Amino acid sequence: MNNADLTDKIATAHDLTKADAKKLIDGVFGAIADAAAAGEEVSLNGFGKFKVKQSPAREGRNPATGATIQIAASKKLGFSAAKALKDKLNG
């Protein structure tokens, strides 16, 4: 499923125009992205949690040359599925 498919599904299910459904979806994902950028955990009951994880700086290797390189510290967004979602996937 991509953005267009999701927009169509939400528009149909809630009797919205595609433009209104797209604004709604963009707003939800924008709010999640803003909260993650601020370092907040986003918990959606029955779906899961989005949590920012710190990845420390480390040494790596250039696969082409084998030379040692420094990899900068970074932040990653992790997702943990809620039990209800896991049950739906496996049930």
62 has pLDDT over 90: yes
Question: Residue 31 and residue 24: Cα distance in Å, rounded?
Answer: 11
SS3 78: strand
Q: Work out the average pLDDT over 78-89.
A: 95
pLDDT digits (tens, 9 = 90+) for 23-46: 999 999 999 999 999 999 999 999
pLDDT for 60 equals 95
Per-position DSSP letters for 5-62, written without gaps between them: HHHHHHHHHTT--HHHHHHHHHHHHHHHHHHHHTT--EEETTTEEEEEEEE--EEEE-
The ranges assigned to domains in the chain are: 1-40, 50-91
Q: What is the mean pLDDT of the chain?
A: 95
91 has pLDDT over 90: no
